[in-house]
């Protein structure tokens, strides 16, 4: 018996034994195409699909057919039939797993055991190892077939979950797989929540609800079947409910209102870990014309907060039902199912406008954060954008810190992500970077398909390689590349996943590609300060020197209290140093070292600046500090430094030679390691024992997020 398996990597099995297939991917793809299309094909058609003209298409086709024939033909039955014009694979006595699965679903009535068998056939996307994306006609056909197979798989999983409803523990594996296969189907998430509630897995109900919200936010879902299932699950788990009624569903940012909040005795769902509502800001001015600015700030803040990764924000329309409604924050939190409430006020005096905002914990009415912002009322739209941007960035930091600090008895993937992000709020160091990697690793271990866990881990691995805060830089970058690719493929419109991809490309010195990713991030989230900073750096490395300082200034305006602000300062200092602005360079590099004492590259630039200024003693001290911090011997000589750091285009390399390297020479870095040994000067600490690999060539600033 001959079996062809296409639901995953391509396999051919004869009499239960896997056949060794030809190494040629096009030959294997040809066989799969013949088996799945089930018809005769003209030779010219096959040549056009699989081979370009310079490749001798007809000769390549003959060669491939000669490799296929031995393991598909039987002695008494030739399956592969080819003449001078056509080619056909006869399918009598041939089992193709896709067709068997379709038959199981199409049976009337479908049998549960047959559906189980059909579900077991799926090992991954159709022909997972045979994309052939360069062959556009084949690839287009394959993409359509994959979508058909995904729908078939969803149909099978849905049917099994429904049929096994009476035994929810048996149904659960199929319900979980359903949302993995189709993460943008809100009814699938609702079915999973209902199945989990029936199985009395209350802890996972919350985790899967939050995962569903994150996935559906990209397509504007989450406020319909999923939210109803979540509330029903909470109601069934509650020991008592006020008259057994369930309140109105709060609407999520970016989606139309459904029902306004109901009476205070509404049964509320337990709040999502990172969730908030922006209440209408109060207009303290006597001028009614000022109301449009006040409402604009409220609306913009709602939009900006909804762009924060893992954030759940109640929509503007629902929030505005609380205008002039004297309701306490605890009650608002209960009614809307949110942890945090942001409120504020706007006041105008002459040409000046002052905006005050405060963040409140809805569970205990505690004030977590407050800030005041002043601006010129001359351009109200620019002022509105500036203020909302700064508030959103500050709240991103505060909300992550507050959510991570909450005690959790059984932490899930999101809990470890929040803890990892909270750890990023401290200035970077080798130890801190290692802690963050560990936390994101634990998150990924709990949810292998989490785009957030994949992205944050990729970001952190790339960051510590860029920072020279790891002994396994090359391995870290390689793993980060795989994680970022998985995340961006699974969620191409995720700003977080695209940022992770940009970080990896920057670590690989692929600056043009990184520029595209950072620009995409900014188009999704205009408040991502580090995206602006890295975008400016990558443009600088491609020769656009004038882009560097404005990008860092934009990042500083957006996030003036950023825990990694030393990076922004350092890049401004480097721009000045490379353009021979020594005094300005020293000022900014000193600020960078004060903000991030553990960054070796910041110390080395400060050492160069001091030396060029003539302060050799302070230069030597900073150089010694850089050598202690870096963990390898890159500062043993200028020649060695050139091998581990890359400086983009020749224009930038020339500036580095005439300024940065010139200063390091004056600070005491010899030209070669041979000179260092000859004069008896130690090159600083050597690479830590057991590291086993050199640092990658490239930029070594603290990269952050």
For the chain, give the percent of residues with pLDDT over 90. Answer: 39
Residue 19 has pLDDT above 60, yes or no: yes
Gap between the Cα atoms of 123 and 106, Å rounded: 21
Residue 520 corresponds to which tokens in the numbers above? 């995409």
Residue 56, pLDDT score: 80
Mean pLDDT: which of 234-243, 310-319, 591-600, 641-650 is highest?
A: 591-600
How far is 442 from 453, CA to CA, in rounded Å? 9
Whether residue 496 contacts residue 456, with contact meaning beta carbons closer than 8 Å, is answered with yes
Using the CB atoms, write b or e for 630-641: b if 16+ within 10 Å.
bbbbbbbbbebb
Task: Give residue 700's pLDDT.
Answer: 42
Q: What pLDDT does residue 246 have?
A: 36
138/47 Cα distance (integer angstroms): 11
Give the model's confidence band at 237: pLDDT under 50 very low, under 70 low, under 90 confident, else very high: low
Q: At residue 145, does pLDDT exceed 80?
A: yes
What is the predicted pLDDT for the residue at 379? Answer: 67
Give the integer Cα–Cα distance in Å for 52 and 54. Answer: 6
pLDDT at 293: 78
Confidence check: pLDDT of 399 > 80: no
Total count of residues recorded for the chain: 705
Give the residue extent of every domain in the chain.
1-163, 275-405, 551-705
For residue 1, pLDDT beyond 90 = no
Number of H helices, E strands in the chain: 30, 13
Query: Could you please report the per-residue DSSP string of 327-393?
Result: --HHHHHHHHT-SEEEEEEEEEETTEEEEEEEEEETTTTEEEEEEEEEEETTSHHHHHHHHHHHHHH
pLDDT for 686 beyond 60: no
**pLDDT for 351-376, tens place per residue?**
788 888 888 888 888 888 888 888 77
Tokens, residue 193: 């929540």
Residue 212 is predicted with a pLDDT of: 84
Query: Contact at 8 Å (CB) between 260 and 325?
Result: no
The predicted pLDDT at position 673 comes to 64
- Cβ distance 435 to 416 under 8 Å? no
What is the mean predicted confidence (pLDDT) over 345-350?
83
Cis omega (within 30 of 0) for bond into 109: yes
Structure tokens at 201: 């897995």
pLDDT of 404: 66
Question: What pLDDT shows up at residue 549?
Answer: 96
Q: Please tell me the predicted confidence (pLDDT) of residue 593.
A: 94
Beta partners for residue 95, in sequence order = 3
Is pLDDT at 625 greater than 90 in this prediction? yes
pLDDT in tens, 479-514: 999 999 999 888 888 889 999 999 999 999 999 999
The runs of H, that is alpha helices, within 38-185 are: 43-50, 57-72, 97-106, 112-121, 136-163, 168-181
- Segment 372-400 shows an average pLDDT of 75
Higher pLDDT, 609 or 135: 609
Q: Which fold has domain 275-405?
A: Rossmann fold (3.40.50)
**CA–CA distance, 396 with 590 (Å, rounded to integer):** 27
Report the alpha-carbon distance of residue 437 to residue 94 in Å, rounded.
49
Q: Which CATH class is domain 551-705?
A: mainly alpha
Dihedral angle computed from the Cα positions of residues 65, 71, 76 and 82, in that order, rounded to the nearest 10 degrees: -10
Question: What is the H or E stretch that residue 24 is in?
Answer: none
Task: Give the per-residue pLDDT at 582.
Answer: 95
Q: What is the pLDDT of residues 272-322, one digit of tens each?
A: 667 888 898 888 877 777 787 788 888 888 887 777 766 778 877 778 888
- Tokens, residue 543: 């020769």
Choice between 383 and 528, residue whose per-residue pLDDT is larger? 528
Q: How confident is the model at residue 243 (pLDDT cuts 50, 70, 90)?
A: very low
pLDDT, residue 514, reads: 94
Neighbours of 689 (CB within 10 A): 7
Counting residues of the chain whose pLDDT is more than 70, the rounded percentage is 86
Q: Residue 525: which of 547, 544, 497 has the closest Cα? A: 497
The three-point CA angle 65-69-71 to 5° equals 135
The confidence score (pLDDT) of residue 272 equals 60
Mean pLDDT score of the chain: 83
pLDDT average, residue stretch 200-205: 82
Q: Which residues contact 519 (CB under 8 A, 6 or more apart)?
A: 535
- Alpha-carbon gap, residue 262 to 441, rounded angstroms: 42
Residue 282's SS3 state is strand
Dig out the tokens for 604 from the structure: 């080395």
pLDDT digits (tens, 9 = 90+) for 83-119: 989 999 998 888 999 999 998 887 777 788 899 999 9
Tell me the C-alpha distance between 550 and 541, whole Å. 15
Q: Say if residue 254's pLDDT is above 70.
A: no
Q: What is the pLDDT of residue 333?
A: 86
CB 704 within 8 A of CB 463: yes
Of 601, 602, 623, 629, nearest to 611 by C-alpha is: 623
pLDDT at 181 over 50: yes
| pLDDT at residue 696 in the model | 40
**pLDDT (0 to 100) of residue 261:** 37
Q: Name the band, by pLDDT with cuts 50, 70 and 90, for residue 265.
A: very low
What's the average model confidence in pLDDT over 379-392? 74
Residues 6+ apart with CB under 8 A from 207: 412, 413, 414
Answer yes or no: are the C-beta atoms of 509 and 698 closer than 8 Å: yes
Which DSSP string corresponds to 576-619? HHHTT-HHHHHHHHHHHHHH-TT-HHHHHHHHHHHHHHT-HHHH
The mean pLDDT value for 550-564 works out to 88
Q: Which fold has domain 1-163?
A: Arc Repressor Mutant, subunit A (1.10.10)
Determine the average pLDDT of the residues in 577-583.
Answer: 94
Give 178 or 336, the one with higher predicted confidence.
178
């Amino acid at each position: 018996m001959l079996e062809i398996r296409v639901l995953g990597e391509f396999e051919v099995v004869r009499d239960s034994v896997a056949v060794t297939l030809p190494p040629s991917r096009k030959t294997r793809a040809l066989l799969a195409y013949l088996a799945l299309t089930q018809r005769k094909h003209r030779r010219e058609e096959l040549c056009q699909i699989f081979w370009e003209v310079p490749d001798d298409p007809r000769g390549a086709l003959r060669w491939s057919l000669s490799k296929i024939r031995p393991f598909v033909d039987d002695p008494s039955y030739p399956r592969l039939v080819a003449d001078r014009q056509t080619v056909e694979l006869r399918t009598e006595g041939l089992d193709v797993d896709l067709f068997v699965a379709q038959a199981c679903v199409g049976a009337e009535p479908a049998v549960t055991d047959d559906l189980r068998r059909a579900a077991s056939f799926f090992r991954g996307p159709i022909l997972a190892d045979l994309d052939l994306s360069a062959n556009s006609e084949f690839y287009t056909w394959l993409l359509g077939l994959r979508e058909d197979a995904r729908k078939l798989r969803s149909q099978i999983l849905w049917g099994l979950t429904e049929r096994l409803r009476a035994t929810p523990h048996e149904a659960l594996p199929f319900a979980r797989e359903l949302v993995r296969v189709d993460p943008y189907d809100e009814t699938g998430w609702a079915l999973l929540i209902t199945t989990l509630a029936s199985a009395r897995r209350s802890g996972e109900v919350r985790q899967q609800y939050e995962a569903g919200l994150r996935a559906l936010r990209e397509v504007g879902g989450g406020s319909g079947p999923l939210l109803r299932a979540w509330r029903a699950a909470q109601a069934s788990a509650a020991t008592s409910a006020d008259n057994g009624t369930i309140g109105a569903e709060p609407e999520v940012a970016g989606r139309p209102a459904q029902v306004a909040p109901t009476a205070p005795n509404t049964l509320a769902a337990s709040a999502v870990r990172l969730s908030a509502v922006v209440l209408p800001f109060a207009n303290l001015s006597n001028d009614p014309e000022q109301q449009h600015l006040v409402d604009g700030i409220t609306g913009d803040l709602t939009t900006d907060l909804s762009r924060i990764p893992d954030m759940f924000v109640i929509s503007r329309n629902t929030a505005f039902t609380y205008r002039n409604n004297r309701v306490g924050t605890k009650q608002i939190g209960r009614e809307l199912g949110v942890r945090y409430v942001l409120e504020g006020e706007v006041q105008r005096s002459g040409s000046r406008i002052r905006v005050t905002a405060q963040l409140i914990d809805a569970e205990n009415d505690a004030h977590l954060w407050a800030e005041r912002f002043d601006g010129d009322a001359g351009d109200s739209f620019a002022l509105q954008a500036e203020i909302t941007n700064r508030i959103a960035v500050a709240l991103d930091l505060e909300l992550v810190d507050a959510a991570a600090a909450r005690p959790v008895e059984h932490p899930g993937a999101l809990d470890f992500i929040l803890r990892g992000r909270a750890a990023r709020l401290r200035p970077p160091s080798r130890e801190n970077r290692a802690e963050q990697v560990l936390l994101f690793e634990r998150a990924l271990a709990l949810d292998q398909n989490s785009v957030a866990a994949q992205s944050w881990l990729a970001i952190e691995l790339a960051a510590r390689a860029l920072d020279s805060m790891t002994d396994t830089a090359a391995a870290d970058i390689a793993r980060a590349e795989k994680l970022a690719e998985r995340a961006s493929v699974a969620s191409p419109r995720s700003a977080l996943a695209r940022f992770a991809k940009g970080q990896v490309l920057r670590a690989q010195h692929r600056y043009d590609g990184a520029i595209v990713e950072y620009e995409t991030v900014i188009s999704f989230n205009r408040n991502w300060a580090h995206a602006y900073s890295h975008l400016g750096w990558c443009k600088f490395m491609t020769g656009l020197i004038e882009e560097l300082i404005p990008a860092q200034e934009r990042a500083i305006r957006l996030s003036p209290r950023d825990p990694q602000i030393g990076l922004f300062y350092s890049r401004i200092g480097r721009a000045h140093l490379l353009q021979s602005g020594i005094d300005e360079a020293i000022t900014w590099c000193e600020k960078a070292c004060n903000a991030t004492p553990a960054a070796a590259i910041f110390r080395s630039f400060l050492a160069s600046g001091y030396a060029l200024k003539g302060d050799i003693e302070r230069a030597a001290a900073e150089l010694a500090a850089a050598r202690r911090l870096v963990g390898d011997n890159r500062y043993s000589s200028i020649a060695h430094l050139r091998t581990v750091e890359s400086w983009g285009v020749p224009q930038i390399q020339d500036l580095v030679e005439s300024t940065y390297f010139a200063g390091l020479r004056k600070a005491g870095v010899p030209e070669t390691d041979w000179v260092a040994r000859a004069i008896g000067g130690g090159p600083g600490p050597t690479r830590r024992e057991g590291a086993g690999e050199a640092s990658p060539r490239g930029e070594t600033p603290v990269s952050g997020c």
